[in-house]
Structure 1
């Protein structure tokens, strides 16, 4: 398998000061969530880093030492919906990032996995938004950024649960935007293509089996087939898009989906 090389490191180019703000990032021990947590902490936010991976959170906190803002680990399984809602209370910035994936034809897709994917990737974001909004409304300012996917805008075979969850997240984000507008709260989606993460790497074998091709052909023939830019998205690129949506300059952007898809949706 040949994976395209990484892009050059992304500098913190977006001017952002979140001093005095509290941010919550789910899936913070993983690649995208980790990058978002570090970026928001660098901007001065106190970041609640939520994940069920305690060791990964500890490593994140070590890496964040010396940042302008603090990173506070919170071990939490998002299938505990009441706990998720409670965790979001008092936050000014909410980044719904946590996700999981299984690649199977619908007829072979385990119903219990479908249910879990929808719980973690759609019901939990709803409960987190629900928990965060009272504080945001009270302060007259808030930012909800949902890490969606190009699969929130397009469908692919063999990903019924993931595509359903991401399409639902896009809709939830728009409703939050409409309701939050008069309270100074924006809600948007960042919708990347395939990001260089372990989640994507773990898909390769399943994609090969589902499509009946060797694993070494999956990246070029499946993952990047519809992308004009023939490389994976870097987690830092996603984090920088999240940061931009938190800036004063982005205050009129709400109810939108920002594709980071290398031209995939231009077709």
Structure 2
């Protein structure tokens, strides 16, 4: 390996990585929807929720990745089940079907809108079709998912549930060459607050904002950023990604998944419309 390269293999998920909590609604009778469940943060979140006993509807366009998620849940001896529901989040009928399946499987109480993608280009050079695709997946689909899910949560005996949205440090500030991603992540914070405003206190909305996480999406982003800026991959990680952070370490998908577990649990009843900002100091400190 050359000095300009990094070992960017995603860490293997084990049971020791996962936060497991006692909660009256964490059981097989409760369903949770996780989008982007075939890889990265979505995959880890689906496994973590299954480890907490929930019946998890794993939604993604990648069938093989969803099967891998099921296999990982088995490997960590999750007490809950992950169900593969192939879903195209740009297809309105698919999104509605995803929610219907979750409601048929049990009491739908939780949604984790995690699916995401990235495209690196300056705003003047950004292809509008890529902008539309990113916004469809990361903002329109979460809106539509919430639209269909909220009625089911309200129909439970106590109306308790939560919709968690995967935001980012890029929902707090902007950097170069990510205009669509930044627009979507800022929008998700607004959607989160709208859910909280209409949730009547028991159906909560919250977002999760983290820095750079070691996922397949991030590995591709490193390569694209290196090309766009004409620098090495090592410089992208050390100077662009971790340069502003106080915690000089990339997060793991499991660490992010645990935030969703906590956010859905009874311990977070006052997390409503707010953002779980675990960013290693990106947005709160400066030189």
The TM-score with structure 2 as length reference comes to 0.88
Which among 214, 224, 235 is matched to residue 206 of structure 1?
Answer: 224
Where does residue 58 of structure 1 map in the other structure? 67
Please say if 1:244 is aligned against 2:253.
no
Distance 1:201 1:192 in 2: 16
Query: Does the 8 Å CA contact 2:50/2:79 hold for their aligned counterparts?
Result: yes
How many aligned residue pairs are there?
266
DSSP-derived class of the 1:206 partner: helix
Where does residue 148 of structure 1 map in the other structure? 167
Q: CA deviation at 1:253?
A: 1.0
1:23-77 Cα shifts (integer Å, max 9, x gaps) = 0000001110111001111111110000011011111112223421111101111
Where does residue 69 of structure 1 map in the other structure? 80
Distance 1:3 1:229 in 2: 19
Which among 129, 141, 149 is matched to residue 124 of structure 1?
Answer: 141
Please say if 1:29 is aligned against 2:38.
yes
Distance 1:243 1:52 in 2: 23
Which among 247, 252, 260 is matched to residue 278 of structure 2?
Answer: 260
Distance 1:86 1:175 in 2: 23
Q: CA deviation at 1:15?
A: 1.5
Instruction: Tell me the C-alpha RMSD between the 2 structures.
Output: 1.9
Q: CA deviation at 1:171?
A: 0.5
- After TM superposition, the structure 1 = structure 2 runs for residues 11-30 of structure 1, keeping only pairs within 5 Å, are 11-17=17-23, 18-19=26-27, 20-30=29-39
Distance 2:267 2:238 in 1: 37
Distance 1:200 1:181 in 2: 37
DSSP-derived class of the 1:181 partner: coil
Q: CA deviation at 1:132?
A: 0.5
Where does residue 107 of structure 1 map in the other structure? 124
Q: CA deviation at 1:216?
A: 2.4
Structure 2: gaps (5+ residues)? none
1:75-132 Cα shifts (integer Å, max 9, x gaps) = 1111102321331242211000000001101111110000000000000000000110
Where does residue 85 of structure 1 map in the other structure? 96
Q: CA deviation at 1:211?
A: 2.2
CA 1:213/1:12 → structure 2, altered by over 3 Å: closer, same or farther?
A: closer
Distance 2:212 2:36 in 1: 17
Q: CA deviation at 1:225?
A: 1.3
Distance 1:153 1:137 in 2: 31
Structure 1: gaps (5+ residues)? none
Please say if 1:164 is aligned against 2:173.
no
